[in-house]
Amino acid sequence: MASVMTSIRGINVHYQIINPQSEKTLVFLHGFTGSTKTWDPVIQSFQGAYRIITVDLIGHGITDAPYSAQRYSMEEQVELLREFFEARRIPSFTLIGYSMGGRVAIAFAMKYANMVEQLILESSSPGLLTTEERADRRKSDYLLADHIEKDGIEAFINHWENIPLFDSQKGLPDTTKQAIRKERLDQREIGLANSLRGMGTGQQPSYWEELQSFTKPVLIITGQLDEKFEQKAYAMKKRFQCCENVIVPNVGHAIHVENPQTFATIIEEHLEFI
């Protein structure tokens, strides 16, 4: 696996790539507080000879974390990815996104559908439907961003890893939990805070009304224990033209963390079927 830094739109972007000569490309986008490292157990489980690219989104991992929140907008992140793929001469690919990365994947697919062969979403959503919902969420995201900058990464991670969304991870082996915690602690205050301000769920546009215009195959993977995002998956499936929802038993929000082998197998079987 090669670890590479490249400059796109004035941002130093970090990505990892394996099997660079393969024709079929899979692109993985991590969630909030994540990085390319989150996908390592999944990639190890893959049997197919795909070119696999994992990207540190803006403000995460070792990609730059600018001080201007405007650089973190969903529109800016989408354009950053488009120029990244064009510079790499990768005209089309399967796009896979988890949680925040899934929101980015949806935003990208809605604007550049011609580049996306298939869309695979893990525990994600197209944003919030109403202006009121977005305004309320924006207030809480901004408040959380302020706390991150004021109290520091460790205090925030102590809070973040104990929210109900991640309850199902408490039963994971200690080595796995330690790896997740280290990945989160390696983030930067300004990167996480501005990510919330720039492309948090309250700040991003809502893409619900655009889903029906996307004609490519969509796979939504959700955990049985994550009822909130299973409901979102059900609502999305009714809007997409060609969509399948796979529910993985006995896991929560982060299927790729709690059961990486099953997660990889679901994707591989889906790609073979399509």
Q: pLDDT tens-digit profile of 217-267?
A: 999 999 999 999 999 999 999 999 999 999 999 999 999 999 999 999 999
- pLDDT value at position 239? 97
Give the chain's radius of gyration (CA, Å): 17
Residue 3 tokens, joined? 């670890």
Residue 249 tokens, joined? 């038993």
- pLDDT value at position 106? 98
Residue 208 has pLDDT above 90, yes or no: yes
Domains of the chain plus CATH, in order, are 2-127+205-273 (3.40.50.1820)
6-60 residue pLDDT tens: 999 999 999 999 999 898 999 999 999 999 999 999 998 887 789 999 999 999 9
- pLDDT value at position 1? 84
Torsion of CA 249, 26, 268, 45, to 10 degrees: -70
Residue 274 has pLDDT above 80, yes or no: no
- pTM (whole model) above 0.95: yes
205 falls in which pLDDT band (50, 70, 90)?
very high
**What b/e string do you get for 8-37 counting C-beta neighbours within 10 Å, with b at 16 or more?**
beebebbbbbbbeeeeebbbbbbbbbbbbb
| Cβ count near 69 (within 10 Å) | 19
114-159 residue pLDDT tens: 999 999 999 999 999 999 999 999 999 999 999 999 999 999 999 9
Residue 37 tokens, joined? 């490292």
Residues 6+ apart with CB under 8 A from 145: 192, 193, 194, 196, 197, 200
* Alpha-carbon gap, residue 107 to 208, rounded angstroms: 10
